[in-house]
């Protein structure tokens, strides 16, 4: 009893000491609660048949009925496979291309030139996906597209690209990399710029080649940023970029086996029967799996190298 009371009193004292700080934190905390945590209670809609009269809490409880549509046909396996595989591929490729570009850009000596490269690599990221989809169409259109014109000019036969599933995994990956790599790249650049230049000097003096200093100085410093980026993407691994998978393939049916993801499936299934419960169910599932994967990936990171884990 007396053993416990001392640290308890100490803790109470410490609490009193920090009280002003806690009080200052309170508004932000309440804000976080109202803005970020309270809306999460809306997840309960995934288990309800929403009506305006009942509202979020009063609507009828239907259990797992809202989830059924996700598992109704053999399409489920296809869309889960597509969502996961594309996201994994995007994650890996975006990291590799992003890091590669970041290293190249930071090696540019001229400051103006470097800023120019930095901005231009980010530019595709801010282009609307609708515009991107028409840019892709300009290449792939069956009658007027650049690609078919070239093929015909060289004596080949026109291909209706939007009805041919084969090349689409590559097209989508290419589009995603073109559009997304710049964003990650900016983060990596800022990390690289933050590395103490004396480290490179030491490496240089010790006779390290350019490649070696990248391998032994730059990459280890980039590791935490890469892990953070991967973790952030992990949480969204069950979500997909709707624009990329719906607009870029122009909602073409014949290539759906390689373009259908969970988001497009939900959209196609519910466009004519807007059902708040069913959409909530789909995003509930996506969030849960994303959350679980973040935890798992973080646990693995902690096992491998404790310092790099996020929490």
Partner 1 sequence: MKKVLCIILSILMVAGMLAGCGQKADTKPAAQGNAAANSGEEPYEVHMLIALPATAPDSAAVERVMNAVNAITLPKLNMTLKLEVMPFSMYLEQVPLQLSSGASLDIFTAISQMGPSWVNAGYLLDLTDLMAEYGKDIPGTYSSPELATVCNLNGYLYGLPVHKETCQQPTMFLRTDILEKHNLDVSNIRTLADVDALFEKVSQLEPDMWMVAADNTAQGKTVEADFIGGSTITAGLLLNRDNTEVVEIVGSEEFREWCDYHYKWYTKGWINSGAASDTESYYSYIKSGQAFSFFSDYGHPLSLADQQANCSGTPLTMVQLDTPYCTTNSSAVFCYSIGAGSKDPAKAMTMLNEIMTSTELMNLLNWGVEGEDYVVNADGLLDFPEGKDASTVGYHLNAGWILPNQFKCTPWCTSPADIYDQFMDYNATAVNSPALGFRFDPDPVSDIVSAVSNVRSKYYKALIVGAVDPAEYIPKYLEELDAAGNQELIAEIQRQLDEWLASKG
Of 4, 39, 143, 194, the one binding partner 1 (CB under 8 A) is: 143
For the bound state, the minimum distance from the C-beta of residue 248 to partner 1, rounded and expressed in Å, comes to 11
Q: Is 2 in the site for partner 1 (CB under 8 A)?
A: no
> DSSP for 29-59?
HHHHIIIIIGGGGGGGGGGEE--TTTHHHHS
Tally of CB atoms within 10 A around 200: 16
Token duo for residue 82 = 């597509």
Q: How far is CA 217 from the centre of its chain?
A: 27
Residue 236's CB: how many other CB atoms inside 10 A?
A: 16
Query: What is the 8-class DSSP label of residue 253?
Result: S
For position 128 contacting partner 1 by CB under 8 A, the verdict is no
b/e 277-294 (16+ beta carbons within 10 angstroms → b):
bbbbbbbbbbbebbeebb
Instruction: Build a one-symbol-per-residue string for 12-51: x at contacts with partner 1 by CB under 8 A, - elsewhere.
Output: -------xx--xx-xx--x------------------xxx
> Which CB atom, from 165 or from 224, has the smaller least distance to partner 1?
165
Binds partner 1 (CB under 8 A): choice among 63, 155, 197, 274: 274
Q: Which is nearer to partner 1, 227 or 256 (CB)?
A: 256
34-40 long-range CB contacts below 8 Å, 24 or more apart?
none
Contact pattern from residue 59 through residue 98 relative to partner 1, giving x for each residue in contact according to CB under 8 A and a dash for the rest: ------x--xx--xxxx-----------------------
Residue ranges in 226-265 that form contacts with partner 1 under rule CB under 8 A: 249-254, 256, 260, 265
Position of tokens 């969502």? 83
Angle of CA points 279, 281, 282, to nearest 5°: 65
Return d(Cα 137, Cα 113) in angstroms, integer. Answer: 32
Please say which residue, 5 or 35, places its beta carbon nearer to partner 1. Answer: 35
The two three-digit tokens of residue 17, written as one number:
């000491």
Q: Does 273 bind partner 1 (CB under 8 A)?
A: yes
Interface of this chain with partner 1, residues 172 to 231, rule: CB under 8 A: none
Binding site for partner 1 (CB under 8 A): 19-20, 23-24, 26-27, 30, 49-54, 65, 68-69, 72-75, 141-143, 158, 160, 162-163, 249-254, 256, 260, 265, 268-276, 278
């Amino acid at each position: 009893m007396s053993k416990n009371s001392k640290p308890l009193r100490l803790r109470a004292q410490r609490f009193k000491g920090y009280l002003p700080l806690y009080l200052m934190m309170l508004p932000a905390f309440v804000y976080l609660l109202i803005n970020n945590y309270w809306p999460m209670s809306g997840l309960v809609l995934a288990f309800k048949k929403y009506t305006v009269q009942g509202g979020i809490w009063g609507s009828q409880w239907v259990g797992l009925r809202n989830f059924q549509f996700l598992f109704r046909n053999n399409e489920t396996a296809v869309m889960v496979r597509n969502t996961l595989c594309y996201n994994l591929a995007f994650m890996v490729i975006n990291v590799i291309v992003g890091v590669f570009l970041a290293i190249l850009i930071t090696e540019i000596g001229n400051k103006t030139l470097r800023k120019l490269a930095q901005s231009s690599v980010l530019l595709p990221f801010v282009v609307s996906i609708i515009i991107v989809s028409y840019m892709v169409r300009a290449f792939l259109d069956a009658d007027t597209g650049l690609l078919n014109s070239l093929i015909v000019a060289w004596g080949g036969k026109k291909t209706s690209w939007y009805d041919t599933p084969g090349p689409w995994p590559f097209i989508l990956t290419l589009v995603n990399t073109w559009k997304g790599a710049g964003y990650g790249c900016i983060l990596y650049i800022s990390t690289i710029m933050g590395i103490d230049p004396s480290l490179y000097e030491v490496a240089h003096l010790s006779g390290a080649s350019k490649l070696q200093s990248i391998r032994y100085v730059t990459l280890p410093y980039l590791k935490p940023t890469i892990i953070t980026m991967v973790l952030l993407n992990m949480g969204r691994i069950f979500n997909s970029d709707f624009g990329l998978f719906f607009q870029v393939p122009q909602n073409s049916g014949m290539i759906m086996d390689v373009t259908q993801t969970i988001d497009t499936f939900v959209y196609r299934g519910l466009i004519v029967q807007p059902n708040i419960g069913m959409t909530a169910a789909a995003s509930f599932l996506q969030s849960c799996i994303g959350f679980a994967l973040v935890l798992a990936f973080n646990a693995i990171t902690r096992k491998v190298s404790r310092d790099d884990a996020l929490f």
